[in-house]
Amino acid sequence: MSLFGDRLRSEREARGWTQVDTAKKLNVNNATWGNYEAGRREPGFEFVRSASRLFGCSIDYLMGETDNRKRDDPPILPPELVPVFRDRCWNQLRPETKREVFEYIQWKLAMEKRKSQKEQ
C-alpha cells in the first residue's frame, strides 16, 4: 500500500463514506478508486486536484510530501518563471487559475520525487 492510498482511505473513512460513495463524488469507476487506495494505480493530476478539493486538504498532503493537511496559498512567482509571465500576464489570471497552476506544479514535483525514489 502507498502513503497516497493510505491517505485517500483515511480521508474517506473520516467522513464515513464508502468507496462507492467517494468514487461517485470524484466521478471515477469504483475499481479505479479501489486501485488508488490499494496503491496499484497512480492517478493523474486532475484526480489528485479534485480529491484535494473534496477532502479540503493540500495536494502535498495527499501525495505524502507533508503531514500538514492545510491548503496553503501559492507563494510569489519564482524568479525563473518571470519571463513566462512578462507583461503582467500572471496578474491578469483569475485567483483560481493561479491556484491550479500552483497545484499542478506541486503534483509534478511529487511525481518526480516518487519516480526518483523508485529508481533508487
Instruction: Quote the cell numbers at residue 97.
Output: 487559475
Q: Report how far Cα 99 is from the mean position of its chain's Cα atoms.
A: 12
What letter represents residue 56's amino acid?
G
Residue 82: band (very low, low, confident or very high) from pLDDT cuts 50, 70, 90: low
Other beta carbons within 10 Å of 15: 11
Q: Which residues contact 8 (CB under 8 A, 6 or more apart)?
A: 33, 36, 37, 51, 62
Instruction: Report the run of H or E that residue 105 belongs to, with start and end.
Output: helix 95-119
Tell me the percentage of the chain whose pLDDT exceeds 70: 82
Q: Structure pTM?
A: 0.66
Instruction: Quote the cell numbers at residue 60.
Output: 502535498
Query: Over 60: is that where the pLDDT of 32 sits?
Result: yes
What are the angstrom distances between the C-alpha of 1 and each of 26, 44, 74, 75, 106?
A: 21, 18, 30, 32, 22
**pLDDT by residue (tens digit) across 46-77?**
999 999 989 989 898 998 888 888 876 555 55
CB 64 within 8 A of CB 111: no
Instruction: Quote the cell numbers at residue 88.
Output: 503582467
Comparison of pLDDT for 78 and 76, the residue scoring more: 78
Angle ∠(69,55,10) on CA atoms, nearest 5: 75
What letter represents residue 116's amino acid?
S
